Amino acid sequence: MIPKKIFYAWFGGNELPKSIQKNIATWKKMNPDYEIIQINETRKDLFDCEEYQFAIDAYQAEKWAFVSDIARLSAIYKQGGIYLDTDVTVLKSFDDILDNDEIWAKENSYTINTGLFFAAKTHSLNIGNILKLYKSLKFDLTNLTKISTVMIVSQYFWNKGLSTNNTNIQHIGNSLIYPTYFFAPLHYWGGGKIIKDSYTVHKYAASWLSTNKNLNMLIRNDVRWLFNQAVLNIEWISRYVAKHKYR
């Protein structure tokens, strides 16, 4: 059973903006008996930055989101529970899905939404394998798209048979992969809708950007995200074609 613990990552020492505080308030409202735990620089029992050169380099570059990419995996690997990005609003209780080994969610037909995931046991095989990938991954400021957590985790599950079916829950080993309408019903580019089955809404906010960044930076970040999706989708299609070409 998945522990009633909700983790979130917050690095850099800045105060939580009111928008994030409001999101966390929905976690507490819908899941009042859950423990909410912040992963930060002081919680080395959950995540030790020094264990990953990728995290050290990202931290020195003040790219907090990339630090949190590993931190979230480390915390759930060590304790089990639920990870949520700080831009996630919770719509209803998670109680009825806790009797599972592991839950991941899609953000579109091709990719995993790494802003939220659940694991019942410590030392999850999947999470452990993904953490091993980060051990050999280099942080590259000039190629952030290729090292995004969405890219890393999606590639991992592609290799395990992740389907483009975005209607049904997919079983991969002991993991359940939920379609977008459960955890990310509103699309980043617009559209989508919340339905009775929706547990959360992921707002895809660039919370790692400092408040003095101008509008141009935000726009560039949006364009990067869209480009990231295009790269991921093209790569998935190429893999699929190569796999089935000679059948």
Q: Is 186 exposed, middle or buried (0-12, 13-18, 19+ CB in 10 A)?
A: middle
Largest CA distance in the chain: 56
Distance (Å, rounded) from C-alpha 54 to C-alpha 77?
18
Q: Note the pLDDT of residue 134.
A: 97
Instruction: Report whether 95 contacts 61 (CB < 8 A).
Output: no
| pTM of the predicted structure, to 2 decimals | 0.84
**For each successive 10 residues of the chain (247 residues), what is the average pLDDT?**
97 93 98 98 96 96 94 98 97 98 95 96 95 96 89 96 96 96 86 94 63 41 49 55 51
Instruction: Report whether 227 contacts 151 (CB < 8 A).
Output: no
Instruction: Report whether 208 contacts 69 (CB < 8 A).
Output: no
Q: Note the pLDDT of residue 191.
A: 79
Residue type at position 218: L
Give 159-215 as a DSSP string: TTT-----SS-EEETTEEEE-HHHH--B-TTS-B---TT--EEE----TTS-TT--H
